């Protein structure tokens, strides 16, 4: 079926949060933006009109975009941005994907307010692999600043320092009862005793990994990103920016009002972070009359783990498995090793050098700090063979071996800038070891790969040891994801088959890290010849 989501108007809209009104960029005047509900197999046609004063693009986070590379959305990667007054129609098909995804601006830091849920239901007549819920609620976790987000970005880029910490976290755009001037607008959800419902939780925060929990209720995880998982119970979830988790919740408690809550998971003690808590209310409709008629029952607040509780995170993450044994990705043709981490670059002393010790922050993979082109997109440069825009010499391994126990070489924290792609042969079986360097930052890096859905075959702490750790990889029931946290001081290993030709961005989904260059791109050719491997661009593709 064709799903027409005709007008998506990107525009400035005044909203009131934390006692003050400010203009934010929204889609159709809504914050968060409209939820797209589609079915596996649907053809989507989404026309985006830009009425804002900023350039914008929209990315369909987790959609594989097989054969529709021009619709992926990251600015200067697969398209030039839609300029103010401009229009672009994204057309793509949902191919064998079900689950909780989302869409967001992929332009500057506009996704702070330009985002919404993208829910893919099974084909008509196909059931869920779990109990049919009474109803479903998308839960979008966000991050709010008391100032224009482009101003926050400019401040960070100008000073070379870390961006200002946020002023609040939000659930479906609302900070909740624990913040000033927010109580009347706190999100409220109602359910009857005995109901089983689905929560589709999305971490849309710009910079922060978040814990999420619901007071007194057990959550049963049934999916992550656009894949089902082996169901398992948990009290707490942790989601990196970009990740989603689908859970079942049963109203099995004595009727009352309960808070759901989210707050930061941050192993950093040296760096400041927003340590506030966002809440929404889950209310049983059958609250006893006497309580209903007297003072409203105070919602019950859940226990959240300590902000630096890595043990809880690891316990949660290791339980995420594919529902059944898969014909695992046992072979590897391309064995890649990428260091991911922050770094610094020297700076001529002045107001623009407010990073550590008078430097500027930078970030890299294999010590290459990614730079976006400005005059065209990478995909166009490739497709039209435009010289001088990109090179295909992204290194498959770091310039020096990474070793936590040794001295960290300058070749791993003083990056060089470049627009380098790594060429993958169509159909090749790829393994990437993502090794955190732990330099400066003590944050997990949520690494997101466009155009693919990969298996997470391993995760661990310390140095990845190819001989020892390869033997321990999970090739039986690894989960499928599009965004994986590379833990602080540790590593994650992903595998996928390069079966989708195109130019595909891989990056840290913490936007400040992306801005500092924690990104690279794959170029996947189909082997038939460079120009044939990708369809011609649509006629309305914006130009730079
Ligand atoms: Cu959700 Cu490249 O982004």
* DSSP annotation string for 449-478: ETT--EEEEEEEESS--HHHHHHT---SSP
Going from the Cα of 229 to the center of ligand 1, the distance in angstroms, rounded, reads 22
Q: Among the atoms of ligand 1, which is closest to the Cα of residue 507?
A: 2
Going from the Cα of 472 to the center of ligand 1, the distance in angstroms, rounded, reads 30
**184 and 302, same domain (yes or no):** yes
What CATH number did the domain enclosing 46 receive? 2.60.40.420
**347 and 477, same domain (yes or no):** yes
Per-residue burial over 111-149, b if 16 or more Cβ lie within 10 Å, else e, is bbbbbbbbbbbeeeeeebebeebeeebbbbbbbbbeebb
Tell me the β-bridge partners of 362.
343
Going from the Cα of 319 to the center of ligand 1, the distance in angstroms, rounded, reads 25
User: In whole angstroms, what is the distance from residue 471 CA to residue 457 CA?
Assistant: 11
Residue pair 63/502 in contact by the 8 Å Cβ criterion:
no
Helix (H, G, I), strand (E, B) or coil at 147: coil
Residue pair 445/432 in contact by the 8 Å Cβ criterion:
no
Domain boundary residue, one of 86, 110, 126: 126
Residue pair 113/149 in contact by the 8 Å Cβ criterion:
yes
Going from the Cα of 253 to the center of ligand 1, the distance in angstroms, rounded, reads 38
Please report whether residue 423 resides in a domain. yes
**383 and 440, same domain (yes or no):** yes
Q: Among the atoms of ligand 1, which is closest to the Cα of residue 514?
A: 2
**93 and 140, same domain (yes or no):** no
Going from the Cα of 370 to the center of ligand 1, the distance in angstroms, rounded, reads 15
Q: Among the atoms of ligand 1, which is closest to the Cα of residue 61?
A: 1
**371 and 505, same domain (yes or no):** yes
Residue-level length of the chain = 544
**51 and 140, same domain (yes or no):** no
Mention every residue, 6+ apart, whose C-beta is less than 8 A from residue 406: none
User: In whole angstroms, what is the distance from residue 317 CA to residue 484 CA?
Assistant: 10
Q: How far is the CA of 360 from the CAs of 232, 351, 413, 445, in angstroms?
A: 44, 10, 12, 19
**355 and 298, same domain (yes or no):** no
**171 and 309, same domain (yes or no):** yes
Going from the Cα of 506 to the center of ligand 1, the distance in angstroms, rounded, reads 8
Residue nearest atom 1 in ligand 1 by C-alpha distance:
61
Helix (H, G, I), strand (E, B) or coil at 13: strand
- For residue 245, give the DSSP letter: E
Residue 377: name the closest of 83, 79, 82, 87 by CA: 79
Going from the Cα of 473 to the center of ligand 1, the distance in angstroms, rounded, reads 27
The set of protein residues with a Cβ atom below 6 angstroms from ligand 1 is 59, 61, 74, 104, 106, 242, 448, 450, 505, 507, 509
User: In whole angstroms, what is the distance from residue 378 CA to residue 386 CA?
Assistant: 9
Q: Among the atoms of ligand 1, which is closest to the Cα of residue 62?
A: 1
Please report whether residue 521 resides in a domain. yes
Going from the Cα of 467 to the center of ligand 1, the distance in angstroms, rounded, reads 33
Residue 486: name the closest of 450, 456, 465, 517 by CA: 456
Question: Number of folded domains in the chain?
Answer: 3
Q: How far is the CA of 179 from the CAs of 174, 224, 226, 299, 444, in angstroms?
A: 10, 30, 33, 15, 27
Please tell me the predicted confidence (pLDDT) of residue 301: 94
Q: Which two tokens stand for residue 251?
A: 């109203």
Going from the Cα of 378 to the center of ligand 1, the distance in angstroms, rounded, reads 16
Please report whether residue 465 resides in a domain. yes
Evaluate the omega torsion of the peptide bond into residue 32 and state whether it is cis, within 30 degrees of 0. yes
Q: Among the atoms of ligand 1, which is closest to the Cα of residue 111?
A: 1
Residue 84: name the closest of 54, 114, 46, 107 by CA: 54
**101 and 158, same domain (yes or no):** no
User: In whole angstroms, what is the distance from residue 237 CA to residue 490 CA?
Assistant: 20
CB-facing half-sphere around the CA of 205: CA atoms within 13 A: 31
Q: Scan for tokens 């044994």, then name that residue.
A: 325
Q: Among the atoms of ligand 1, which is closest to the Cα of residue 104?
A: 1
Please tell me the predicted confidence (pLDDT) of residue 405: 77
Please report whether residue 78 resides in a domain. yes
**352 and 404, same domain (yes or no):** yes
Mention every residue, 6+ apart, whose C-beta is less than 8 A from residue 367: 339, 343, 398, 399, 411, 412, 413, 414, 415, 416
User: In whole angstroms, what is the distance from residue 513 CA to residue 271 CA?
Assistant: 14
Q: Among the atoms of ligand 1, which is closest to the Cα of residue 483?
A: 1
Domain boundary residue, one of 126, 161, 179: 126
Residue 37: name the closest of 134, 116, 126, 128 by CA: 116
The answer to whether the complex's ipTM is over 0.90 is: yes
- For residue 388, give the DSSP letter: T
Please report whether residue 282 resides in a domain. yes
Q: Among the atoms of ligand 1, which is closest to the Cα of residue 242?
A: 1
- For residue 35, give the DSSP letter: P
Q: Among the atoms of ligand 1, which is closest to the Cα of residue 74?
A: 2
Going from the Cα of 7 to the center of ligand 1, the distance in angstroms, rounded, reads 22
Please report whether residue 373 resides in a domain. yes
Please tell me the predicted confidence (pLDDT) of residue 288: 64
Going from the Cα of 70 to the center of ligand 1, the distance in angstroms, rounded, reads 15
Going from the Cα of 509 to the center of ligand 1, the distance in angstroms, rounded, reads 6
Going from the Cα of 81 to the center of ligand 1, the distance in angstroms, rounded, reads 15
Q: Scan for tokens 């090749």, then name that residue.
A: 428
Residue 379: name the closest of 93, 68, 92, 94 by CA: 68
Going from the Cα of 402 to the center of ligand 1, the distance in angstroms, rounded, reads 27
**301 and 342, same domain (yes or no):** no
Handedness of CA 290, 292, 295, 300 (dihedral sign): positive
- For residue 150, give the DSSP letter: H
Please report whether residue 327 resides in a domain. no
Domain boundary residue, one of 321, 352, 379: 321
Q: Among the atoms of ligand 1, which is closest to the Cα of residue 102?
A: 1
Residue 384: name the closest of 537, 200, 155 by CA: 537
Output the CA torsion 98→101→102→108 (10° steps).
-130
Residue nearest atom 3 in ligand 1 by C-alpha distance:
61
- Burial class from Cβ neighbours inside 10 Å (0-12, 13-18, 19+) for residue 290 reads exposed
**120 and 178, same domain (yes or no):** no
Output the CA torsion 485→487→493→498 (10° steps).
30
Q: Which domain holds residue 449?
A: 334-533
Helix (H, G, I), strand (E, B) or coil at 393: coil
Mention every residue, 6+ apart, whose C-beta is less than 8 A from residue 162: 156, 271, 355, 361, 512
pLDDT tens, per residue, the chain with 544 residues = 677 776 689 999 999 999 999 999 999 999 999 999 999 999 999 999 999 999 999 999 999 999 999 999 999 999 999 999 999 999 999 999 999 999 999 999 999 999 999 999 999 999 999 999 999 999 999 999 999 999 999 999 999 999 999 999 999 999 999 999 999 999 999 999 999 999 999 999 999 999 999 999 999 999 999 999 999 999 999 999 999 999 999 999 999 999 999 999 998 767 889 999 999 999 998 776 555 555 457 899 999 999 999 999 999 999 999 998 666 688 999 999 999 999 999 999 999 999 999 999 999 999 999 999 999 999 999 999 999 999 999 999 999 988 887 777 888 899 999 999 999 999 999 999 999 998 766 789 999 999 999 999 999 999 999 999 999 999 999 999 999 999 988 999 999 999 999 999 999 999 999 999 999 999 998 766 554 568 899 999 999 9
Greatest CA separation found in the chain?
Answer: 75
Neighbours of 83 (CB within 10 A): 15
3-class secondary structure per residue, 359-371: CEEEEEECCEEEC
Going from the Cα of 103 to the center of ligand 1, the distance in angstroms, rounded, reads 9
Q: Among the atoms of ligand 1, which is closest to the Cα of residue 73?
A: 2
Please report whether residue 544 resides in a domain. no
Q: Which region holds residue 298: left if phi is over 0, alpha if psi is between -120 and 50, else beta? A: beta
């Amino acid at each position: 079926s064709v799903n027409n989501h005709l007008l998506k108007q990107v525009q400035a809209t005044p909203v009131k949060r934390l006692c003050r009104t400010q203009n934010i960029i929204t889609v159709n005047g809504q914050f968060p933006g409209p939820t797209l509900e589609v079915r596996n197999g649907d053809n989507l046609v989404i026309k985006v009109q830009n009425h804002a004063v900023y350039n914008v693009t929209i990315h369909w986070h987790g959609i594989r975009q097989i054969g529709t590379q021009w619709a992926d959305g990251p600015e200067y990667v697969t398209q030039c941005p839609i300029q103010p007054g401009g229009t672009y129609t994204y057309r793509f098909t949902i191919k064998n994907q079900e689950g909780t995804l989302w869409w967001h601006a992929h332009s500057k830091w506009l996704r702070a307010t330009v985002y919404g849920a993208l829910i893919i239901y099974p084909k008509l007549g196909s059931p869920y692999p779990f109990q049919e819920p009474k109803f479903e609620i998308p839960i979008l976790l966000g991050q709010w600043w008391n100032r224009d987000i482009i101003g926050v970005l400019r401040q960070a880029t100008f000073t070379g320092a870390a961006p200002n910490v946020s002023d609040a976290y939000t659930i479906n755009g609302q900070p909740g009862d624990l913040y000033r001037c927010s109580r009347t607008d706190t999100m409220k959800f109602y359910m009857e005793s005995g109901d089983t419902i689905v929560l589709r939780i999305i971490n849309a925060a710009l910079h922060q990994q978040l814990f999420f929990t619901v007071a007194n209720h057990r959550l049963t995880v049934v999916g992550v990103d656009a894949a089902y998982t082996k169901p398992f119970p948990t009290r707490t979830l942790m989601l990196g920016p970009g990740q989603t988790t689908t859970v079942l919740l049963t109203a099995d408690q004595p009727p009352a009002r309960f808070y759901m809550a989210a707050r930061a998971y941050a192993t950093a003690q040296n760096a400041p972070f927003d340590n506030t808590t966002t809440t929404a209310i889950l209310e049983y409709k059958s609250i006893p009359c006497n309580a209903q008629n007297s003072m409203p029952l105070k919602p019950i607040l859940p226990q959240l783990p300590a902000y630096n509780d890595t043990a809880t995170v690891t316990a949660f993450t290791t339980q995420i498995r594919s529902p059944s044994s898969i014909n695992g990705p046992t072979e590897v043709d391309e064995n890649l090793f990428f260091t991911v981490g922050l770094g610094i670059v020297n700076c001529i002393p002045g107001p623009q050098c407010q990073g550590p010790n008078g430097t500027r922050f930078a970030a890299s993979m294999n010590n290459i700090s990614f730079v976006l082109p400005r005059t065209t997109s990478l995909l166009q440069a490739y497709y039209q063979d435009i010289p001088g825009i990109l090179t295909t010499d992204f290194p498959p391994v770091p310039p020096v071996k990474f070793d936590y126990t040794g001295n960290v070489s300058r070749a791993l924290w003083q990056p060089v800038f470049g627009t380098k792609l790594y060429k993958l042969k169509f159909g090749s079986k790829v393994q990437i070891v993502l090794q955190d360097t732990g330099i400066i930052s003590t944050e997990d890096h949520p690494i997101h790969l466009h155009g693919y859905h990969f298996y997470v075959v391993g995760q661990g702490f310390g140095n990845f040891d190819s001989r020892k750790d390869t033997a321990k990889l999970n090739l039986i029931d690894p989960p499928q994801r599009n965004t994986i946290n590379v833990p602080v001081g540790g590593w994650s290993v992903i595998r996928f088959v390069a079966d989708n030709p195109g130019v595909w961005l891989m990056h840290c989904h913490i936007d400040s890290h992306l801005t500092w260059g924690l990104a690279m791109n794959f170029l996947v050719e189909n082997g038939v010849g460079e120009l044939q491997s990708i369809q011609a661009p649509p006629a309305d593709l914006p130009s730079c």
